[in-house]
Structure 1
Amino acid sequence: MSARQDVLRRGVLLLALAGGAQANTAVEPNTRVPAAVMHYAPSGFPDRIVASPLQDGASGFAVSWRTDASVSAPILEIVVAGDSPDMGAPRRLAAASRAQATENGQAHQHHVRVDGLQADTLYAWRVQGDRTWSAWHHTRTAPAPGQPLTLLYFGDTQNKNVSLTTRVVREAMRHAPDARLALYAGDLVSGGDGEDDNEWGEWFEAAGALPTSMVVAPAAGNHEYFEEFEDTPRERRVLGAHWPLAFALPGNGAPGAQATSYWFDYQDARVVVLDGTSALDLGTAQAQARWLEQVLAGSPARWNLVMVHQPMFSPRQDRENRLLREHVLPVLERHRVDLVLQGHDHVYGRRGGRVAGQATPQYLVSVAGAKQYRLSTQARASMAPVAEDTQLFQVLRIDGQHLRYEARTATGRLYDAFELVRDGDGRQLHERSEDRIGPRDCPRALSPKGRGDRCWE
Structure 2
Amino acid sequence: MRKGGWTVLAAFALVMAPAFTQSPGENEPNLAVRAGSTRYVASAMPDRIIASPAQDASSGFAVNWRTNDRVQSPVIEIRIATDSPDVGEPRRITAVTRAWQASNGGVHVHRADIDGLAPDTLYMFRVQGEGSWSGWRQLRTAAATGEPLTVLFFGDTQNKNLSHVSRVTREAMRHAPDATLALYAGDLVAEAVDDNEWGEWFEAAGDLPDVMLVAPAIGNHEYREEFEDTPQERRVLGESWMQAFALPRNGAEGEHARATTYWFDAQGVRFVVLDGTSALDLGTLQAQTRWMDRVLARNPHPWSIVLVHQPMYSPRGRGASERLRAAWVPVMEKHGVDLVLQGHDHTYGRRAGDTRGKALPQFVVSVAGPKQYRLSDEAKREMAPTAEDTQLFQVLRIDNQRMRYQARTVTGRLYDDVEIVRDAQGRKQLREIREGRIAERDCTHRDATLGGRSDRCWE
TM-score (normalizing by structure 1): 0.94
Coordinate RMSD, CA, aligned = 1.3
What CA distance in whole angstroms lies between the structure 2 residues aligned with 1:135 and 1:379?
A: 47
Q: CA deviation at 1:359?
A: 2.5
- Amino acid across the alignment from 2:156: D
Describe the SS at the equivalent of 2:107: strand
Seen in structure 2, the aligned counterparts of structure 1 residues 357 and 83 have a Cα distance that, compared at 3 Å, is: same
Gaps of 5+ in 2: 1-17
Structure 1 match to 2:13: none
The correspondence of residues 404-419 of structure 1 with structure 2, limited to 5 A, is 404-419=404-419
Deviates more, 1:135-144 or 1:424-433: 424-433
**Aligned-partner Cα distance in 2 for 1:419–1:270:** 18
Alignment of 1:399 onto 2:408: no
Structure 1 residue matching 2:117: 3-state secondary structure: coil
Contact 2:78/2:91 (CA < 8 Å) preserved in 1?
yes
Relative contact order (alpha carbons < 8 A, sep ≥ 6): 1 or 2 greater?
1
2: CA distance, partners of 1:307 / 1:174: 23
Aligned to 1:429: 430
1:16 corresponds to: none
Question: Retained in 2: the 8 A contact 1:280–1:321?
Answer: no
C-alpha distance in 1 between matches for 2:430 and 2:362: 9
Q: CA deviation at 1:317?
A: 3.5
Please tell me whether the aligned partners of residues 333 and 354 of structure 1 are also in contact (alpha carbons under 8 angstroms): no
Q: Match for residue 234 of structure 1?
A: 232
In the TM superposition, residue 10 of structure 1 has moved relative to its aligned partner by 7.8
Higher deviation after alignment, 275-284 or 424-433: 424-433
Per-residue deviation, 1:425: 3.6
Does the C-alpha gap of structure 1 residues 75 and 10 become closer, same or farther in structure 2, counting only changes over 3 Å? closer
Cα contact 1:185–1:307 (8 A) shared by 2: yes
Distance in 2, Cα, partners of 1:447 & 1:121: 48
Which residue of 1 is the match for residue 127 of structure 2? Answer: 127
Mean Cα displacement is larger for which, 327-336 or 109-118? 327-336
Alignment partner for residue 214 of structure 1, among 212, 215, 235?
212
Equivalents in 1 of 2:211, 2:138: separation in Å? 6
Structure 1 vs Structure 2: percent identity of aligned residues? 62
1:182-221 to structure 2, matched below 5 A, reads 182-191=182-191, 196-221=194-219
Native 8 Å contact 2:280 2:320 kept in 1: no
Aligned CA distance change for structure 1 residues 451 and 89 (closer, same or farther; 3 Å): same
Residue of structure 2 in register with 1:285 after alignment: 285
Report the equivalent of 2:253: 255
After TM superposition, list the pairs within 5 Å mapping 1:303-318 onto structure 2. 303-318=303-318
Query: What pairs up with 1:50-449 in 2 under 5 angstroms?
Result: 50-191=50-191, 196-256=194-254, 257-423=257-423, 424-442=425-443, 443-449=445-451
Q: Distance in 2 between matches of 1:54 and 1:27?
A: 41
Q: How many angstroms apart in 2 are the aligned matches of 1:318 and 1:147?
A: 39
Aligned to 1:5: none
Task: State the TM-score, normalizing by the size of structure 2.
Answer: 0.93
Matched with 2:4 is: none
Distance 1:147 1:328 in 2: 30
* Paired AA for residue 145 in structure 2: P
Q: Do the aligned partners of 1:166 and 1:207 also contact (CA within 8 Å) in 2?
A: yes
Aligned-pair CA distance for 1:389: 0.4
Larger Rg belongs to: 2
Counterpart-to-counterpart distance in 2, 1:223 and 1:131: 35
